[in-house]
Amino acid sequence: MKTLKIEELSKNFGSTEVLRKINLEIDEGNFLVLLGPSGCGKSTLLNIIAGLETINEGNVFIDDYNVSKVEPKDRNIAMVFQSYALYPSMNVRENMIFGLKQAKTSKEKIEEQLEKVSKFLQVDKLLERKPSQLSGGQRQRVAIGRALVREPRIFLFDEPLSNLDAKLRVEMRREIKKLHQQLKTTVVYVTHDQTEAMSLGTRIAIMNHGVIQQNDTPENIYKKPSNTFVADFIGSPSMNLIKGILKESSGEIFFTANGSNFEIPVKRYEFKNKSNLDNKEVFFGIRPEHIYFKKSNESDFEVTLRADLSEYIGHEQIMTFDYANQEILAKFPSTIKIELAKETKLNFDITQISLFDAQSEERI
């Protein structure tokens, strides 16, 4: 039984297609993050799961039960919003029990739940306050509390941390992680922040233009991006994508960047399909953090590139090199001194590379 299953789901707003044939499954207790740039349809998908938006095609199942035409309140879900959406005229207590009251829950049960949740979230001292008298972090907690008291099957979070300042955001992120560890409820979480997605999710679905690009564990998303969009979207700075061709000779496979004079052996790369690789136009993907200044593995491949630009950011520095007239970025500890406009020896960790077809931009 899947806690949540989305089947061939499509959604249009007038003539604009927002979601196209989305298929998604979540097992009990998982933390799924919907990640993507703004306008990719992730919030619409969440609203559809909640029942706040109608569906054009496809179905949504919760516990194998088709809820596509079921009212939001009957879907056994709870949602936390970006703007908190606390009812301004009600105090914290009334905010938290509003849903239970609507569901005609017994007074004793309401009190019991309220006490349990407010203690758990440490808002039990704030029950008589109005939302306007709370700080951002407290509001967020109350909003989570309002979702918790209903003991839902699925928690939906719509960019819940975007309104907080940087420091509080990191704190609340950890709290949400703890919350999930303790309660083990299924979560669907929408964000455009990759750090949030990576640190919180047990699974991440990366979306772009209404299509899921990759639905995988955070580790696989980082290590084996399924196309150039994912490769580019995840990581800061993002993965270097160098244009070039593959050459096959006597069982060995090499990558040559356009206009470059050296070949990089890529025989250790796990190709999906080993045929027709000779003369294939590809993007060679390597993350800035996988370019080392000192050789650290036996397999590292040494190249000599010219340093063009240095960006110092305290604990590390980001260097831009010229790789046959293509920019390539590398991340080093800030203790390393590299002179600009000089040829520098670097080491590519070729166990960490990705290769993409230049036409389809898919991983090969």
Partner 1 sequence: MQDSLKSSSYQQLEQKSKYTNMFLRWFLYFILILFASYFIFPLYVMVVTSLKTMEEIRQGTLLSWPSGLNLDSWAVAWGGRGYGAGDTFLRPYFWNSIKMVVPAVFFSTFIGAMAGYVLTKWRFKGDKWVFLFLLFGCFIPYQAILLPMARTLGALGISNSVVGLVLVHTVYGIPFTTLFFRNFYVSIPTELVKAARIDGAGFFKIFFKILLPISAPIIVVTIIWQFTQIWNDFLFGSTFSFGEAAPIQVALNNMVLSSTSVKEYNVDMASAIIAGIPTLIVYVLAGKYFIRGLTSGAVKG
Site for partner 1, rule CB under 8 A? 47, 50-52, 71-73, 77-79, 81-83, 85, 87-89, 98-99, 102-103, 146, 158
- Toward partner 1, which CB reaches closer, 13 or 312? 13
- Closest contact distance (angstroms) between CB of 260 and partner 1 is 52
CB of 274 to partner 1, least distance (A): 50
**Smaller CB separation from partner 1, 103 or 340:** 103
In the bound state with partner 1, the residue whose beta carbon lies nearer, of 19 and 46, is 46
Residue 76 vs 352, nearer CB to partner 1? 76
Q: What is the nearest approach in angstroms of partner 1 to the Cβ of residue 52?
A: 5
Asked whether the beta carbons of 164 and 191 are under 8 A apart, the reply is no
Task: Tell me whether residue 61 or residue 81 sits nearer to partner 1 (CB atom).
Answer: 81
**Residue-wise DSSP of 18-45:** EEEEEEEEE-TT-EEEEE-STTSSHHHH
Cβ contact 36:42 at 8 Å: yes
Residue type, 67: V
Please answer whether residues 348 and 263 qualify as being in contact, where contact means their C-beta atoms are separated by less than 8 angstroms.
no
Give the pair of three-digit tokens for residue 133. Answer: 């008298």
CB of 86 to partner 1, least distance (A): 8
Local structure of 278: helix, strand or coil: coil
Which string of DSSP letters, residue by residue, matches 97-137? HHHHHHTT--HHHHHHHHHHHHHHTT-TT-TT--GGGS-HH
Q: Which lies closer to partner 1 via its Cβ, residue 85 or residue 127?
A: 85
CB of 313 to partner 1, least distance (A): 33
- Residues 201 and 218 sit within 8 Å (Cβ to Cβ): yes
The rounded distance, in Å, linking the Cα atoms of 7 and 174 is 32
* C-alpha Rg value of the chain to the nearest Å: 25
Shortest CB 193 distance to partner 1, Å: 19
